[in-house]
A and B are shown apart, each in its own frame.
Chain A
């Protein structure tokens, strides 16, 4: 139901209410109509109904006639039973306050009208629904700790005491019949069973008196309880021994300071409860003739309380005094941070049960050696109380549920972090079985391709970031994702991370990373090569996007390409030679095994070729040369000087530069550079010059001949 319609309904209900309260005759009809709205799913409407019922039943005869009110009380029982289970603080308070009037009316009605089983059953149902909630924190959920719950939702308990004392008052005999009590119930009533309801009342009183036995002081509950007990003392002599014996045994100075109150609050509590005890005992003396033994012991108690009161009055109660050392605190059995909601979506907040501000939380356990961690964990698990562990896990589970049901937490990029979590399976945990990790799944070729693509994209993304960004990023991640391991990993990885680190890692993945022991020419090797080529193409494309500024990347890559190819092939060659010579050695044909291997290797390694390197360096030159301009002199010469191997074929590509009138200078400069600084390709360069000197273009011919004479 939308807010609009809810507020519209409430507007109409208010009109109906005004009508009811202004016309005695229409009141019953209006109230019965309104009872239909109790089942409305909208909480604001339920709240409205509960308030209306409370106001109606508390109104006097001038607004609603007594006979009508009696009828309406019975008609409202069902609705109140429903509302009494509504988890809403104000609704429940309204239900209690309505029920106080209704209980009196309906009880008396049933007494006068024997045989109305249905009404009596409903009244009992409502009664039980209310009284049973005194020992809970309803309508609030209970916390992780009984001690904490003593101090939670006191208003509801304070309200419930009223109702419970009323039930006790009606269901037991009074000393005189000034007020309705069990003596007023018709003897032999078929529904109101004296013994049963009396026993129930005694049970309820015991339940109330259990507050005296708490080992801590809950002043806002204790004092109103004493207040209500004054009514029972006044009316019911049968309860006097029980109540007064509780009072007699009760001593605020024997109570413990709760973990849920400060020392100041505890000191004030003792004073406040002592004062109310004093007033209570005074009230008892004034209104009751007590047996002499009780008179004496309570008299002594009163003296002690008065002395204490006078003593504390003379001092600043909150000032520290030596007696403070005698104050004992209750053993803490809860969790400092027992919150069942999750403030931010990370593991630290999910699991933290200690004070979130505690420095200890920043200690990274991942920095400890694994065996220490294991023995610590085992020792901790051995020592922990299973009940407490259960509670702790319960809190974590609640937080987890909260996070899942709270879309605002799940919004944004953090989403993936949780969805991928394996903890989802906790319901299937079987403590009997030994758990072992499943073997890794073999990836299909397509999956491998997808992964490689992902890796490439990630690295290219990193290449766009500045080092500052990388560092900032690592900090942010460290904060938001505070599980120690990954933040530490990120830190280490980033520590030595520099602008060009990505290309080192990526090229090595394409070359050494993809290198396998697959037989050469096999399908597997071919497929691996295809994966490598995906990376190579990506780097190549990256270079093409901006050949002028990305020449470093190319040099880095082609060097790695050449080096890994040579190293890999040398290794293979050596192994081949070894296998072959080992056979000869065993056959006695060779005497110096190592010497022979080295000798053969030295001769054969001259023949090692680098087809991958040649292929990609040719591709690079082919793509760069058409775009070179004369101002690119520096980068081109740098490329030529830094490439690990120049073949005649590669050098031959410079020729096209010399043929271009605009870039002729660049072409000759490159040749001249190579002749001077790369002797292995000197001859290839001279061959090109030779070619050019025979050209039919005069300027070409002249320049080529000049250089030829100089360097030949």
Chain B
């Protein structure tokens, strides 16, 4: 597991990061958020875990749930392991092994509970998550006890390579920090009674402002946002 010793954020929202294969972008962000002490999980929206192979038309395909360790061993046993070392695949899997056991599929994540904040790393994944939650809205209410919760879904478009995954991860940590700081500050102000309009303390009322502020400093990380029901 991660070597960094971190203090858990006590009031952490339940956060998850989502990319296609739950290997590079969502995992880098997962690692960074974990290191920062947040309550974090990660998923992939693809149908299977697809990693680059010896040629573009021969990807390495694994089932979600295949441990990173096994993927790592498989790649290391192949003839072109040197290629995987030079293109960063090996480095990526070494990191992933330290973060969690195996890539997880978004569409089958009901065991993981609900989330307050979902961060996707690609527009395609954002669409997939929203579409899936619409499906669940219709499909899951056989259970009369279930009440949907409000979830904030934010897409941050990150190019799928090592370097951009790190830059994107930094941006995500910053944004997650801003949301938490907002909640803390406003909670404090509410408790002190120094707030003029309670609306100023409601995250949903102020979320657009937070996103605009973040976007200003991260022009190359394009965003999409919606409030939805989980």
Contact = CB atoms under 8 A, between A and B. Distances in A.
B197 A339 contact: yes
A153 B202 contact: yes
Contacts of A643: none
Contact of A101 (B127, B144, B202, B212): B144
Nearest to A139: B198
A290 to B, nearest CB: 17
A590 B216 CA distance: 100
Contacts of A276: 130, 226
Interface string B179-221: 0000000000000000011110011110111011001100110
25 contacts: A57-B145, A58-B146, A140-B199, A151-B199, A152-B197, A153-B205, A154-B227, A155-B205, A162-B148, A162-B229, A219-B225, A219-B226, A220-B205, A220-B207, A224-B227, A227-B130, A227-B133, A230-B137, A262-B212, A264-B216, A265-B211, A272-B224, A272-B225, A272-B226, A313-B123
Given A227-B229, A268-B212, A155 B138 contact: no
Contacts, number: 137
A223 interface: yes
Contacts of B209: 262, 265
Contact of A223 (B211, B215, B228): B228
B50 to A, nearest CB: 23
B150 interface: yes
Given A162-B148, A272-B225, A313-B222, A140 B138 contact: no
B204 A223 contact: no
Contact of B199 (A152, A162, A275): A152
B74 interface: no
Interface residues of B, number: 44
B197 A223 contact: no
A152 B196 CA distance: 13
B24 interface: no
B141 interface: yes
Contacts of A618: none
Contact of B228 (A224, A278, A319, A341): A224
Interface of B: 123, 126-127, 130-131, 133-134, 137-138, 141-148, 150, 157, 196-199, 202-205, 207-209, 211-212, 215-216, 219-220, 222-229
A651 interface: no
Contact of B145 (A60, A152, A227): A60
Interface residues of A, number: 56
Contact of B219 (A57, A105, A318): A318
Contacts of B196: 339, 341
A283 B225 CA distance: 18
B218 to A, nearest CB: 10
A162 B138 CA distance: 12
A670 interface: no
Contacts of A265: 208-209, 211-212
Contacts of B211: 265, 268
Contacts of A231: 134, 137-138
Among A137, A234, A268, the one with the most B-chain Cβ atoms within 10 Å of its Cβ is A268
A151 to B, nearest CB: 6
A309 B219 CA distance: 16
A276 B224 CA distance: 9
A641 interface: no
A168 to B, nearest CB: 14
Contact of A316 (B127, B150, B205, B219): B219
B147 to A, nearest CB: 5
A272 B227 CA distance: 10
A528 interface: no
B138 A159 contact: no
A707 interface: no
Given A137-B199, A162-B229, A272-B224, 17 more contacts: A89-B202, A100-B147, A101-B144, A155-B150, A155-B202, A159-B150, A228-B229, A230-B137, A264-B215, A268-B215, A275-B126, A275-B127, A279-B127, A279-B131, A283-B134, A316-B219, A318-B219
Contacts of B134: 227, 230-231, 279, 283
A220 B224 contact: no
B197 to A, nearest CB: 7
A261 interface: yes
A261 B208 contact: yes
A628 B223 CA distance: 91
Nearest to A162: B148
A155 B131 contact: no
Given A265-B212, A275-B224, A339-B196, A151 B205 contact: yes
A201 B209 CA distance: 34
A589 B54 CA distance: 143
Nearest to B226: A223
B205 A154 contact: yes
Contacts of A224: 150, 226-229
Contacts of B229: 162, 224, 227-228
Nearest to A263: B212
B205 A282 contact: no
Interface string A139-154: 0100100000001111
B133 to A, nearest CB: 7
A572 interface: no
Contacts of A97: 147
Contacts of A220: 204-205, 207-208, 227
Contacts of B212: 262, 264-265, 268, 318
Contacts of A153: 198-199, 202, 205
